[in-house]
Amino acid sequence: MASEKVIKALNEARGRELTAILQYMAQHYELEDQGFDKLGDAIKKIAIEEMKHAEMLAERILFLNGVPTSQPDGKAKKGEEIPAMLATNMKLEDDAVKMYNESAKLCVAESDQVSKDIFEKLLKEEEDHWNYFDNVKTHVKELGAAYLATLTG
């Protein structure tokens, strides 16, 4: 029943989600430490959504008799300024969107509708994350310190 190609795609997605979790939690801690509590809280919320994605992928992998990876596919960047942080996050989300679109197509070819549905659900949520980061990046660029001040406390 299970396609090795689909299990591999699910595991690649899980590795990507684990990287996003590490990245966003590291940023959450750094932002909280710098007093940017509101931005830190928003990024923490996204990290928790990524945790749910990783769990959903693991459950599907197990159902297909695969072994879920516990290895992130990258390392968290630390010490970035907010604009660079947002660019890092947008790249993570953009890469995920591309991967999940391709993975959904693979699932169709492998006749796995359930895995396809999972990728499409994740795809929508990753697009929402990208949009949030893009909006904040635009506000920081256009409003500068005045906008950053609204992200404190």
Tokens 């390392």 correspond to: 75
Domain boundaries, the chain: 4-150
Per-residue pLDDT of the chain (153 residues; tens, 9 = 90+): 679 999 999 999 999 999 999 999 999 999 999 999 999 999 999 999 999 999 999 999 999 999 999 999 999 999 999 999 999 999 999 999 999 999 999 999 999 999 999 999 999 999 999 999 999 999 999 999 899 999 997
Task: Identify the pLDDT of residue 134.
Answer: 98
Task: Identify the pLDDT of residue 149.
Answer: 92
Contact between 115 and 10 (Cβ < 8 Å): yes
Q: In this structure, what DSSP letter does residue 67 have?
A: -
User: How does 67-92 read in b/e, with b if 16+ C-beta sit within 10 Å?
Assistant: ebbeebbeeeeeebebeebbebbbeb
Task: Identify the pLDDT of residue 2.
Answer: 72
Question: What is the pTM (predicted TM-score) of this model?
Answer: 0.94
Fold of 4-150: Ferritin (1.20.1260)
